[in-house]
Structure 1
Amino acid sequence: MILPSQRHLFDIPRDVCYLNAAYMTPLTKAQQKIGAAATAQNGRPWEVFPEDFNPTSDRIRQHAAQMFSVGADDIAIIPAVSYGIATAGKNLKIRTGSHVLVIEDQFPSNIYEWKENADAAGGAIITVPTPKNHDWTNAILEALERTDVEYSVVALPQVHWSSGALIDLLEVSKACKRVGAALVLDLTQSAGAMPTDIAEIDPDYAVFGTYKWLMGPYSLCFMYVAPRHQGGQPLEQNWLARRDSEDFAGLVNYKDEYQPGARRFDMGERSNFILSPICVEGLRQLEEWGVGNIADTLKALNARLCDTAAESGFEAVPEKYRSPHMLGLYVGAKGRELLTNLKEAGVFASLRGDMLRVAPHLWIDDQDMDVFEAALKSV
């Protein structure tokens, strides 16, 4: 279903055309109000009780689990994508002499951990080069079919952060299982903008930054941990992750056992009384809109933006291989000039290499589309 513009829910000035959701989404007015109330509450710590430490975290888990078709016990709350990837790296061993598969120009949070681990195991990072048509799925599958290379880990996004090109993770997951490689996903540029069935894809670990398409605050993320890995070693040892941590009077009765499921991988101070309520409201809003409806709406918006760009001579990633919510436009040597013209017109997008990354969301309306078209034609 195509949704109408939701601009009224955001505090976006009329002279701003914000096409940069892939950089950071603005908080809604409701989230800002909730954040202010949460900050004020922290000015009255005598009103914060031991029983307040878990309910909001549990709500985050429940919302995330529902969105990704997994159980609440499969979700850990973490501060950053790199934290989740480091957790995966601690628990997934690189077999001696084997390698880690990534794609060209992948976001670094899902690179650095694997480079260090592969080097230590006498292996290397194997990078799949960018296919000319942006058909990443077939390029990855062909790499996994090589008989002269052994892979321990395949570390990927669902959507390339620069071009918006899409990867069929279900097919990649099947191939990983055939070759005995673990699958570790950074879904920051897709979660919340398009339906993603984690139970069906069945990765070993998947990490979600919330401050982009999940409409959350910076420094709060989720991590899915497959049940087969939930007995692993957490990155840190924090008291909230231990059994019976709800009993503050008994915290010095130290426990070897953890809270159930993926909770052992939670970050310390996961309760975060300011950020957590903001996150819950963002997830609630996404559920109200429906992620499938968001994807349909953004796909339609990007089709219009693509037609506008084509009229000005800018080619997009082929529709067959692009995600519904991000549009990569080849701008070549005109990139800097175009970005300057867009900024002067109040249009915000990102330049990534020779591509202009356009990432609208539900706040975009017809007036924004007109402003974008005029700015493109000025180049």
Structure 2
Amino acid sequence: MVSAIRTSSRPVAVVAGTLVHWFEGVAIDLETVAEAARAAGAALVVDGTQWVGAVPFDVRRVRPDFLVFATYKFLLGPYRLAFLYAEPRWHEGGRTLEHHSWNRQGGDRSDFYKATVAEFLPGARRFDMGERSDFAVLPVAIAAMKLIREWTLEQVFERLRHLNELVWAEAENRGLPVARPRCPAPHISILDIGDRLLPNAAQELRRANVHVTLRGTKMRVSPHVYNDEADIDRLFRSLPLRQSR
């Protein structure tokens, strides 16, 4: 990606990326990508859904223009809710996708639509969605983030790194033909099991109440803090495999 940005024969306006590829398990050096984007005069837009809540991240170091992430993965939150960080330079001149009372000053007044269109709310609130006061999902998201903050992100990260190290070690101990990525993501494991995986693997794992994602010959394992070492052991004991030749 960095090479493509630096050698592009055309102007680069936006660079969109993430810290980890969701089904390759490869970690991306976002700080280097960010430096290349800034040097090219491009805005950096980052999708954090696959890692926010699991991997420490400092916006002051990476300085993305926008960072957006859903809450339903490592943040332990609900579906249909996402958060957006906008770099301060976009707080004044950023163009919004939605125009409604919820992101305007005085938008909570009953006579709002009778007056001249008001200014946007300060900060990144201009990017707020309409009808954001979802009483079903917001309390869940707030409680989940308070819980992660209480645990501390650093402890969550170390726990997930430990569990994923066990995944790789168990796969290797069982003689599976897996190869760790050169720059592995610390919180998810993508195992390419090749032809050892039986066609009925998904059904057998579901029957054993083991939940992973299977795509072709690859298996994604993404434990969280509610998992333990026994779960890793049960995964491999339940995994239907062909005998090695």
TM-score where L is the length of structure 1? 0.59
Structure number with the bigger relative contact order (C-alpha 8 A, sep ≥ 6) is 1
C-alpha contact 2:163 2:229 (8 A) present in aligned 1: no
| Aligned residue in 2 for 1:361 | 224
Q: 1:229 aligns with which of 90, 104, 108?
A: 90
Q: Which amino acid aligns with 2:204?
A: N
C-alpha contact 1:298 1:324 (8 A) present in aligned 2: yes
- Residues 329-370 of structure 1 show CA distances to partners (whole Å, capped at 9, x for unaligned) of 012344444334322322110013432110001111232122
The question of 1:270 aligning with 2:141 is answered no
**Equivalent-residue separation in structure 1 for 2:40 and 2:67 (angstroms):** 19
* Cα shift at 1:216: 1.1
* Cα shift at 1:179: 1.6
* Cα shift at 1:152: 1.9
**Mapping for residues 153-302 of structure 1, pairs under 5 Å:** 153-230=14-91, 231-248=93-110, 252-302=114-164
**Equivalent-residue separation in structure 2 for 1:361 and 1:322 (angstroms):** 17
Distance 1:223-1:145 versus aligned 2 partners, 3 A rule:
same
The question of 1:152 aligning with 2:13 is answered yes
Q: Which amino acid aligns with 1:343?
A: R
**Equivalent-residue separation in structure 2 for 1:206 and 1:228 (angstroms):** 14
Instruction: List, as ranges, runs of 4+ consecutive aligned residues in structure 1 with deviation greater than 4 Å.
Output: none
Structure 1 unaligned blocks of 5 or more: 1-139
Distance 1:207-1:236 versus aligned 2 partners, 3 A rule:
same
**Equivalent-residue separation in structure 2 for 1:208 and 1:193 (angstroms):** 12
**Mapping for residues 63-102 of structure 1, pairs under 5 Å:** none
What is the RMSD of the two structures over their aligned residues, measured on CA atoms? 1.9
Deviation larger for 176-185 or 308-317 = 308-317
Number of aligned residues: 239
**Equivalent-residue separation in structure 1 for 2:14 and 2:209 (angstroms):** 43
C-alpha contact 1:158 1:166 (8 A) present in aligned 2: yes
* Cα shift at 1:235: 0.8
* Cα shift at 1:249: 5.4
Deviation larger for 155-164 or 327-336 = 327-336
Question: Identity over aligned residues, as a percent?
Answer: 36
- Residues 107-134 of structure 1 show CA distances to partners (whole Å, capped at 9, x for unaligned) of xxxxxxxxxxxxxxxxxxxxxxxxxxxx
**Equivalent-residue separation in structure 2 for 1:339 and 1:248 (angstroms):** 54
